[in-house]
Structure 1
């Protein structure tokens, strides 16, 4: 019976230590995922202030960036680049079209496919908004080299998480 008491005593003495370590590991401020989540929200607020004068949302700006790289992509291709499903992307594209920045066109061979093209207004924003990446980057408090390091780390982390969750 003494053996049982001994193991209970050692569990009791170890419990506060383990509980403390566990509690520390579960603190919100120690969660990498929360830090990324909170930083994403902070970026959203920063971009809202930078893009608001152009009546653009951050997701709309991302669509324009994708199209500045390669115009005429399908909705599916844009969604793959931005990690957005068509249910999220379609209303966003309709608003961009209503504002005169893009036009949507159905593919003649496959009417189910919709391609997105920049209009003159959307193309003109490329020059106007060219300062946004540097302005937003400057708001981070990180120098360009450190921003590049963080970007590389986040891309690696995203890819690793995608690979692991696909299993």
Structure 2
């Protein structure tokens, strides 16, 4: 399954081995692992809680995978995104893409992560010394998505 939303951690080596095992034509694997930072916007972060709507989130992630596969035919994509309570240094997300050649693997992995960061329906709440705060979408994430020719729904709402 190319998309998983889960509370438990994941093992990068195991996930990549399983992704590669199904296709001997794979010549390249590109991966991105996002982690919880201990500081954000100048405040120490003690933890983070990620919320989502089951079903809706998976459908949105599957749409991201489909768009990447449309742009780079022949790639395979894996997205694992954690939800629930996480601590600094915990893994949040894994995006892995495979292709025959490195260029498509790198580009598609970056595209998926840019798209996911702007468009995936997750809500993040950080615990800081000043109290809990919701993390808003960043303009830089919308700009990263725009370079792929995609307008973020967040940017469209703000316009």
TM-score (normalised: structure 2): 0.26
Higher helix share: 1
| Larger strand percent | 2
Q: Of the two structures, which has the highest relative contact order with CA contacts closer than 8 Å and spacing of 6 or more? A: 2
Please, what TM-score do these two structures have when normalized by structure 1?
0.25
